[in-house]
Amino acid sequence: MSLPSNITWHAGHVNRSDRERVLGQKGVTLWMTGLSGAGKSTIACLIEQKLIAQGKLAYRLDGDNVRHGLNSNLGFSPADRTENIRRVGEVARLFTDAGVIVIVSFISPYRADREAVRKKMAPGDFVEVYVKASLAVAESRDPKGLYKKARAGEIRGFTGIDDPYEEPTDAEITLDTEACSPEESAEQVIQYLQKGGYLQS
């Protein structure tokens, strides 16, 4: 969709490098994808907590939380899921430009939707984090009781049951939550950020 001709980008006098210098860090989007029950939200909370403890500015965008406000008008059809990810991708891009380390924890089941977000960001700004767990393990955890409802036909179009989950093919980070604890997984992400120069002082 093209923009109306009367809309023009208005540049400011402060740029991204100015904001990052003030914050002492580089803005980045950590896009955590995986099945429901894989551990995304738990790990995201730990990452945010660890970064704040280091004096870094981080903010978490959680799939369920965002649907309480920004995306409250969207359902779970394929089209609505795509729009859900598009909107969150735009918000994450703004956070990243502001110099914030934004942690996005969304199932985001479709590979094309995740790639569309990546393509709108500069190289290095989008870090895909695959929170990996088999369907059997995720379903055995079932922290919200959603798999049980999906199996009973109470929820339609549930990822992993009657709607597909497309695993990442080139994620920067893979967290095997069947082999590692949430604490170990969060630390793996922190180490990636340190090595990548995102936590510059």
3 state DSSP class of 52: helix
pLDDT confidence of residue 14? 86
* Three-point CA angle 46, 50, 51, nearest 5°: 120
Beta-strand (E) ranges in the chain?
28-33, 58-62, 101-105, 126-132, 173-176
d(CA 164, CA 81): 12
- pTM of structure: 0.91
pLDDT at 64: 80
The conformation of residue 109, written as its DSSP 8-state character, comes to -
**Residues of the chain with confidence (pLDDT) below 70:** 1-4, 6-10, 201
Q: What pLDDT score does 9 carry? A: 65
Query: What amino acid positions are annotated as catalytic residues?
Result: 108
pLDDT at 2: 63
Q: Name the pairing type of β-strands 28-33 and 126-132.
A: parallel
Tokens of 117: 């977000």
Listed residue (170, 91, 167, 87) closest to 127, CA to CA? 170
Domains by residue range for the chain, with CATH: 23-195 (3.40.50.300)
The predicted structure's pLDDT at residue 127: 98
The pLDDT of residue 1: 58
pLDDT on residue 4: 67
pLDDT of residue 3: 59
